[in-house]
Amino acid sequence: MMNNEKKGRTGVLTVMIVAAIAGALMQTSLGTALPTLMKGFDIDLATAQQASTWFLLVNGMMVPLSAYLATRVKTRTLHLVAYFLLLAGILTSMWTPESADFWWLFLAGRILAAMAVGIMLPLSQIVVLNMYGKNERGAAMGMLGLVIGMSPAIGPTLTGWILDKNHSILGWTLSDSWRSMFVIPLIIIVIAIVLTPFLMKNVVPNKKIALDVSSVLLSTVGFGLFLWGFTNVASYGWSDLGSVIAPIVIGALVLAAFVWRQLKLPVPFLDVRVFAKKNFTIPTVGLLLTMMAMFGVEMMLPTYLQNVRGMTPLNSGLTLMWGALFMGFLSPVAGALYNKVGIKKLAFVGFSMLTLGTMPYLFLTAETPTILISVLYAIRMAGIALTMMPLTTAAMAALPDDKNADGTAANNTLRQVSASIVVAILTSVVQNIVNNNRPSHSLKLTDPLKYADKVLDASLDGFRVAFLISMVIALLGIILTFWIQGQKEADEC
């Protein structure tokens, strides 16, 4: 399919959107289910959070490979492989025996799903960039952003609805077990698999490029060790040499070697030279801040609502529903606004909304009205909608078409790395504050009410610090917008 060719574009975009819904739901819908998983597998928060951090870790490791695969493998074939891989991951996690001894199998399913999503979402962006001209990409990326943004946002509500009581979907009865949350992504990815042979086209031009095995190993080991170190923080603390400090430092050194090798190769595995272009790098950094601010609250808020407020999974999901709706509504609008007002103003407004929507979370109590939490979350998600895909579009607009695959891979790799790091850091912050401020067990025996109050205070302190970190990240986004160039300035560069 030639660039800008309109025939068949709608079908291709439809398949990718359907599959992206399943992938995006698998990425972050576990937020509401963490307390249920903790109870079902008899594990603590730090262990349960591995279901998210390992997903993000493997996702980040796979994304650099997506650029090579998109160029080397036919578009339709690569989509089918990714979809079947996601199906295998869903089924593996879904049928894991409910025991702490089998938690590794649940994580194995998450890893398979992460490998699939690490291919799917970057590939979708590469396909859009190849199908649409620069004047049309804003709207097309906005539609893709509707899924990438709204599906993770609506995941807590959907998961809460599923876990609350029995439901029936297409004749399939869902119980209140955590297994039920995989049914909807399972059905969606099967639909995508059925549609792919009929609607998917071979869009991305293929070239026979030799795979640089050394680059793959350096990338995999580097990102793997680096992110693994961060995932261990919640369990071992920042001072642990073997499980935290050493993996992070060694991973960073291996990644430095990876970058050095890419600069020396005539045909790099991942062309890191795209970061030499300021109009690509600055919006990409803004996108990282958006992802970190989004995940920072999205992964913490459902746990606060259930563990501190005592809400059911459904009610905690409903509390966050307005944010999902705002994000879904504004994502296509943001794509249109990008072409009209430019990225600089759009990003400033978005990060400002994100900051203002996060600030009141610093003062959350066990009695904070849920309507206030809903309104603030909606403001935050509206801000994310105004920044996420517009920043992605602005970054990619700075690159020539032949660098779309490299730019998308670099962009998505850093997104997943930043999300994984922030989830690990905030989980460790909450866990450590709770552990350090937990009252003695003797108080539980002598004064149970006072013990419960102190446990609640410790949890609230942990969540408040996590929200403070998220607000600081949003503030950094506001500062960054002063370095973002408007479209006119960018075109002159």
Q: What is the pLDDT of residue 410?
A: 80
Q: What is the pLDDT of residue 107?
A: 92
Print burial letters for 124-143: b (CB count within 10 Å at least 16), e (below 16).
bbbbbbbbbeeebbbebbbb
Averaged over successive runs of 10 residues, the pLDDT of the chain (493 residues) comes to: 58 88 78 78 80 78 79 90 95 90 92 90 83 72 66 66 61 64 90 92 81 87 84 78 91 94 86 89 92 80 82 78 78 81 91 94 88 91 88 87 78 78 81 77 70 78 89 94 70 46
Q: What is the pLDDT of residue 2?
A: 42
CA distance 346 to 330: 12
Q: What is the pLDDT of residue 335?
A: 77
Residue type, 386: L
CA distance 355 to 169: 38
Q: What is the pLDDT of residue 486?
A: 61
User: What's the CATH architecture for 9-211+269-492?
Assistant: Up-down Bundle (1.20)
CA distance 409 to 52: 21
Query: Which of helix, strand or coil describes residue 96?
Result: coil
Q: What is the pLDDT of residue 109?
A: 95
- Angle between the 75-94 and 50-72 helix axes, to the nearest 10 degrees? 160
Rg, the chain, Cα only: 22
CA distance 202 to 112: 25
Q: What is the pLDDT of residue 108?
A: 94
Q: What is the pLDDT of residue 444?
A: 66
CA distance 311 to 300: 14
DSSP H/E element including 145: helix 137-164
Q: What is the pLDDT of residue 493?
A: 45
